[in-house]
Structure 1
């Protein structure tokens, strides 16, 4: 099981971030990214919201760094760690806009893009952007198919129910022939959608329920199941608890862990990353070689 991190600072839900993150900026994020890269972590994340209603921000938080700008910067400060949107809301973008913007990111990062994609659930945000909320699942399915036909193509062509294009040049485009798609969601339908892609990033479900859903599915070889512990890990303060939490994820079917880390500062966060990396031999975790 590979281990990546849910990048701190870039999203700050009310109960899911530490106090130091409120005043942190790109230098702290960059330092953490460089450390994770050097230690062989699998991926960084950045999620997407354009604007969150004040009432919704009380539960979701209001801080969401733009993933494209953030990853463009972090790509220049790292060498091998993957850059995973978790997630882009498909209804907010035309597939060719994603193909251009994130295809460019794939090129400047040397082929390190993973596209986490989701249907979206915040109706007010859809309305703000002039995107249709009703029928968004069917539109998302069509967008995923259009993206798969487009990301690595200079002259993409796709003819679907909601998206139809040909004879257009998209340059630059992704350099990976097959950019991994991770599908976010917590329903059986999201898992079915993910099984037609490359991975599933569920949230907010007990591990036993997730394990049962995966056991009933026809999961193909090479399919990523990206799970996270229910609480942030403290590998310096309690290495055994941290290690066992990751083992439980693997036993539930995870191939990739996306972890949150307890820390009091960016420097402490980097120390925690090193401590978690040191647990790898004991708990069977997968890291790349240190740089």
Structure 2
């Protein structure tokens, strides 16, 4: 089992360079596989869209919470760490034109030595997606085509370049370099809770991260993913499953249950504590419970800056 940690965006410190660099280095020292950054290009105040992962219909983050661009954040953290995987969760594909996105992702992957993983989705906040210039009703089709564009531009097409002729994007002879480190390109996982998300994972994804699903709902989503993969002539067992849990609650018994469900990675959310030392202590305790590598040096907070040293 691999264990990833979420960037603790809810603390409001994800854009503080010393704070987030120390957190990422500590996660790496503790033996966590990767760090996962969320995305919201904008949060529209008093949005009317319903957040699907809370009974209130509102996301936990304040409208004015600092949410750094996930790709810029991951590029920064790539330079602060050596082996820690770098992942998005969830990159909102309709917010991006896939041609420049392919270049940005490949550049981060190449400069980090192949450490990037993309978990992508279609987004739930209509106001955000429309502010980015995309019709909310077409976001699913655009996301599907964007994945095809990314893979076309990452492929080794030699002198002919990449060709794509779709509903939203068209080009020919496109040469996009550098290429990702892995010959098959950067892994693209699909995040979401809906049937279309499950089908997208089966048809196009290297992985599936069902968000907010448990019990029967999770099993139904996995069955939907498997049917879609088989219909597309793909091996459903090759679609990697990532599930979520909490840093302060995960233990070997809970891991065993998620492994039975098919998970090979668990993304862990923190407690929301704003104190960096507490966040790092929670990572250390979690790593000890799970039998991960112990930090080589202790983290001590600098009271003057709130960073660790």
Q: TM-score range by the shorter chain?
A: 0.7 to 0.9
State the partner residue of 1:6. 6
- For the residue of structure 2 that corresponds to 1:117, the secondary structure is strand
Instruction: State the Cα distance separating 1:107 from its structure 2 match.
Output: 1.1
Shift of the alpha carbon at 1:71?
A: 0.7
User: Are 2:133 and 1:127 aligned?
Assistant: no
Shift of 1:6: 1.2
Cα deviation code 1:153-181 (max 9, x no counterpart): 57432232322212233233322222111
Equivalent pairs counted in the alignment come to 269
Distance 1:108 1:98, change over 3 A: same
**Pairing of 1:37-76 with structure 2 (within 5 A):** 37-56=28-47, 59-60=58-59, 61=61, 62=63, 63=65, 64-76=67-79
Cα RMSD after superposing both structures: 2.5
* Counterpart check, 1:233 vs 2:224: no
CA distance in 1, matches of 2:152, 2:279: 39
Aligned partners of 1:150 and 1:70: how far apart in 2?
Answer: 23
Q: 1:169 to 1:111 in 2, by over 3 A?
A: same
Q: 1:186 Cα shift?
A: 0.3
> 3-state DSSP class of the match of 2:174?
coil
Deviation of 1:216 after TM superposition, in Å, equals: 6.0
* Runs of 5+ consecutive residues of structure 1 not aligned to the other structure: 13-20, 236-240, 282-286
Deviations 1:195-223 (A, max 9, x none): 23111112122234213432565363342
Partner of 2:240: 224
Q: Which ranges of structure 2 fall in alignment gaps of 5 or more residues?
A: 49-56, 227-234, 297-309
Residue by residue over 1:118-152, the C-alpha shift from the partner in whole angstroms, topping out at 9 and shown as x without a partner, is 11222112221221212221121111111111135
Distance 1:144 1:289 in 2: 38
Is 2:178 the partner of 1:164?
Answer: no
Q: TM-score, normalised by structure 1?
A: 0.83
1:22 to 5, 12, 32: 12
Of residues 275, 282, 290, the one that matches 1:280 is 290
